[in-house]
Chains A and B, each alone.
Chain A
């Protein structure tokens, strides 16, 4: 039997589902972007003298 009456509760549930969907989609996009950056940077570090990943840079500037 289809729900014929829209209740305030359904609106809240729908909002929560859309919100969670957006968060999960955003998380997937984020991990993808991060992966792309890591993969490209990894290539660069294999050439001697190229910018090393952040971990090895030490503090001071001249």
Chain B
């Protein structure tokens, strides 16, 4: 190793450390956690609410850093992740580990002090589930990795809710269920058009282990199973007529999109450069964003809810 690389390794810029926290994943976490916090009955002091969302975001970022510490070998092989701070050599792996552990400790402790132990415990569980259960145990072993691992991405609205109420009821469980059931079709549609990457890294994506035909069928199955969950959430205390109407439209579009994917084969998909798959992936982002946006609207004073 020459002097030049030694210096480069020890002197990452600030933005390299920010990149370790996966800021783009964090945006979804912040949004769903914020909705969970705002639709929870009782309300919360704005400063406490801000601190709670910040802690959830930092906790999610910390698990991202732990993921980049453990997965540096996979990231180095995949085109999409090759330029991440650790595989590119700008940040050492043990620095990522230290940052992940340190920020996890801070986030959980401050959340416990600002709100309550249930919310802090849920945050600790979420970090543990993503960093250990998903990244270390499941990701390299089973094509069900993203199905089970999706739980950690689904939990933030429940943490937000618990931060306000100190308890967990049906409504936050249904919010978690919505994201949990949405994650597999969302990621598998991505895997359909990002194929070469996961194969090269040896990550057992469903597309590699069971083929694309099966993946398309799985996407449809989850899209159909998602319908009662999404509509059921609309019947809880935080739902309402507006949510239900929007959800009906969004779910019809989601199932129709999945049906379109099932009817296509690889030859057809390659002919138009995976146009339908990419459209379905984009639609899935809007699907989740609009569902939680609708919940937020239902919580706005003056918007008719269920007997509220």
Binding site for B on A (CB under 8 A): 9, 12-13, 15-16, 18-20, 30-31, 33-34, 36-37, 41, 54-62
Contacts and interface: CB of A to CB of B under 8 A. Distances in A.
A56 B166 contact: yes
A61 to B, nearest CB: 5
Contacts of A37: 45, 47-48
B268 interface: no
A16 B47 contact: no
Contacts of A16: 11-14, 17
Contacts of B209: none
B86 to A, nearest CB: 16
B42 interface: yes
Given A54-B115, A54-B116, A20 B41 contact: no
B113 interface: yes
Contact of B54 (A13, A30, A41, A58): A30
B7 A9 contact: yes
A37 B11 CA distance: 39
The 5 closest A-B pairs by CB, nearest first: A19-B14, A57-B42, A55-B166, A12-B13, A59-B169
B26 interface: no
Nearest to A10: B11
Contacts of B48: 34, 37, 54
A16 B11 CA distance: 9
A61 B237 contact: yes
A9 B14 contact: no
A18 B54 contact: no
A33 B15 CA distance: 27
A61 B164 CA distance: 14
A11 to B, nearest CB: 8
B167 A58 contact: yes
A16 B51 CA distance: 24
B89 to A, nearest CB: 14
A13 B237 contact: no
Interface string B7-32: 10001111101100000000000000
Given A9-B7, A30-B51, A59-B165, A54 B42 contact: yes
A61 B41 contact: yes
A16 B166 CA distance: 38
Contacts of B163: 54
Contacts of B13: 12, 15-16
B308 interface: yes
A10 to B, nearest CB: 9
Contacts of B165: 54, 57-59
Interface string B42-82: 10110110010010000000000000000000000000000
B114 interface: yes
A59 B158 CA distance: 13
A15 to B, nearest CB: 5
Contacts of A13: 11
B140 to A, nearest CB: 33
A60 B41 contact: yes
A31 B110 CA distance: 9
Interface string B72-115: 00000000000000000000000000000000000000100111
Contacts of A18: 14
A17 to B, nearest CB: 8
Interface string B105-143: 000001001111000000000000000000000000000
Given A37-B47, A55-B166, A59-B237, 13 more contacts: A15-B14, A16-B11, A16-B13, A19-B17, A19-B18, A30-B54, A33-B47, A54-B48, A57-B165, A59-B41, A59-B165, A59-B171, A61-B237
